[in-house]
Structure 1
Amino acid sequence: MLDISVIIPVYNAAQFLEKSVNSAVHFDEVKEVILIEDKSTDNSLEICQKLASENPKIKLFQHPDKGNHGAGATRNLGIEKASGNFITFLDADDYYLPNRFDAEKNIFNDPKIEGVFGAIGVEYLTEKGKLEYQKKFKDAPLTTVNYPAEGEEVFRGLLSLTPKKFGTFFHLNALTIRKSALEKSKLRFNENLRVHQDSDFNIKLSYHCYLKSGIIDNAVAIRGIHDDNRITKIAQYSPQYNQRQYLYWKSLYDWVSENNLSLEYKKRIYLSFKSFDLSQKKGWAKYSNILWEGFKNPEILKTKYRFNYYR
């Protein structure tokens, strides 16, 4: 049987936390639910303490300084505290479905497989949150990929290098990874990224580890959509959006520069990084840099971010 450590970063999630924890703790495969409280300003800490006192499978930790360090650092602390052979993640305002580990039970019989990912659905908890989400992501019922894949195909797909459109990402809520794979690759979340650290982690993970798709046509977890979802607050190609994307792609560009990836992968990441780097420039400097970059790398005009240059 799998022995799984579920890591839940907790920040201002009092109204959702109990449902989230209860959705995970009852699985036979779940060895422990690790709550990492990140200096909430509501009563999340008290709820964490109550839950941990009621069930020995629920363990509560905070950062050594009791401070707020963001989701990346909080998940990293959870990884360090995890004692299970497998690690999963769950956001404190989301919850698992009963089929969460159905695919893993069989797929992990193959020792080559180091991680499994699936699909998540959405539940609209507020009308405002629903409108913001649908404006940005349309009304997609699932966050998933378009076809089954494993190994390098997953990495290529996430970088949009496959002949068929694979899909831009899978959600951490639907990822199960061997802890030994994280230790082997020395992979952790980029603590300098306050947003997109999950996408950054997943792309790096898909390169360093052998991943395989699990249940991708039905949800294995549900994402709660409400008024305070940070990812839906920022308009596409606004200055703040461009800055967040720049930091995300810079993290990947720094990583690819430090590792011996193929030229194809380096160029793909560089073009996206450079697109948002150019978006940070102003006035004549911006347009002269666009012209120069287009002359050196005409492919940049074919990236999905090409229209970002002129805003």
Structure 2
Amino acid sequence: MLDISVIIPVYNAAEFLEKSVQSALQFEEVKEIILVEDKSIDQSLEICKKLADENSRVLLFQHPDKENHGAAASRNLGIEKATGNFITFLDADDYYLPNRFDAEKTLLNDPKIDGVFSAIGIEYLTEKGKLEFQSKFSDSTLTTVQYPAEGKEVFRGLLGLTPKTFGSFFHLNALTVRKSALEQSNLRFNNILRVHQDSDFIIKLSYHCHLKSGIIDQAVAMRGIHDDNRITKIARYSPQYNQRQHLFWTSLYEWSKPLPLEKDVSRHIYLQKKAFELSEKKGISKMVGILVAALKNSDILRTKYRFTYSHS
């Protein structure tokens, strides 16, 4: 039987936390639920204590200084504290469905497979959150990939380098990975990234580990969309958006430099990093930067996120 540690970073999630924890407790495969409380300013800490007191499988941790360190650092602390052979993640405002580990029960019997990912659904909890989400993302109610894949195909697909469209990033809520695989590759979340640390982690994970798609045509977990979702607050091509994308691609670029990646992969990561680096510049500095970059490599003008003078 699977032996799973569920890691839940907790920050200002008092309204949702109990449902999230109960959704994980329904599975006998779940050995422990690790709550990492990140200095919330609502009643989250009190609820965490209550849940831990009520069930021995619920464990509560805080950062040593009891300060706020963000979701990446909280997940890393959870990984360090986990004692299960397998690790899963769950956001405190989301929840698992009864079929959450159906694919894992079969696929993870194969020692070659380090991790399994599936699809998640979207539940709109507020009208404002719904409008903000739909204005920035597709109206699809399922976050999934377009076709079954495993191994190298997953890594290239997430970077948009497969012959056919691979699709969305799969969500952490639908990922199960062997703890031993994380330890072997010394892989953790990048603490510098306050957003996109999940996408950064997933891409790196898909390179270092053998991942396989599980249930991709129906949800195994639900993502709650509400007024306080951070990712929906950032307008596309705003200075803040460009800055955070620059940090994300710089993280991937620094990670990729010592690795024996295929040339098209290395080029793609560099060009995306360079594009967002230039998108943060303004006026003549931006014009000169684009010209110099284009002279060195004209592919910079065909990056996915084109930067134009109107975005200065």
Offset of residue 261 of structure 1:
2.0
Does the aligned pair in 2 maintain the 1:256–1:266 contact within 8 Å? yes
Distance 1:142 1:303 in 2: 26
Q: Where does residue 13 of structure 1 map in the other structure? A: 13
Distance 2:272 2:122 in 1: 28
Q: Where does residue 26 of structure 1 map in the other structure? A: 26
Distance 2:305 2:280 in 1: 13
Offset of residue 229 of structure 1:
0.2
Distance 1:309 1:213 in 2: 40
Distance 1:259 1:189 in 2: 18
Offset of residue 9 of structure 1:
0.2
**Among the aligned pairs, what percent are the same residue?**
74
Q: Where does residue 162 of structure 2 map in the other structure? A: 162
Give 1:107-126 correspondences, 5 Å limit.
Answer: 107-126=107-126
Runs of 4+ in 1 over 6 A off after TM superposition: none
What CA deviation, in whole Å up to 9, does each residue of 1:240-278 have, x standing for no partner? 000010000010011111323232211110011011000
What CA deviation, in whole Å up to 9, does each residue of 1:114-142 have, x standing for no partner? 00001111111101000001111131111
Does the aligned pair in 2 maintain the 1:32–1:59 contact within 8 Å? yes
**What TM-score does the superposition give when structure 2 sets the normalisation length?**
0.98
Give 1:131-210 correspondences, 5 Å limit.
Answer: 131-210=131-210
What CA deviation, in whole Å up to 9, does each residue of 1:150-195 have, x standing for no partner? 0000000001100000014110000000000000000000001110
Distance 1:92 1:113 in 2: 27
Whichever residue aligns with residue 285 of structure 1, its letter is: S
Does the aligned pair in 2 maintain the 1:120–1:174 contact within 8 Å? yes
Q: Any stretches of 5+ residues in structure 1 without a counterpart?
A: none
Distance 2:248 2:18 in 1: 31
SS at match of 2:15: helix
Distance 1:309 1:98 in 2: 49
Offset of residue 308 of structure 1:
5.2
Deviates more, 1:160-169 or 1:291-300: 291-300
SS at match of 1:281: coil
Whichever residue aligns with residue 301 of structure 1, its letter is: L
**What TM-score does the superposition give when structure 1 sets the normalisation length?**
0.98
SS at match of 1:14: coil
Offset of residue 309 of structure 1:
6.2
Confirm or deny that 1:284 pairs with 2:291.
no
Deviates more, 1:110-119 or 1:258-267: 258-267
Q: Any stretches of 5+ residues in structure 2 without a counterpart?
A: none
Distance 2:188 2:277 in 1: 25
Offset of residue 294 of structure 1:
1.3
The number of residues matched between the two structures is 311
Distance 2:258 2:38 in 1: 31
CA RMSD of aligned residues (A): 0.9
Confirm or deny that 1:57 pairs with 2:57.
yes
Deviates more, 1:255-264 or 1:53-62: 255-264
Q: Where does residue 70 of structure 1 map in the other structure? A: 70
Does the aligned pair in 2 maintain the 1:275–1:309 contact within 8 Å? no
Distance 2:162 2:178 in 1: 26
Whichever residue aligns with residue 169 of structure 1, its letter is: F
Distance 2:179 2:234 in 1: 34
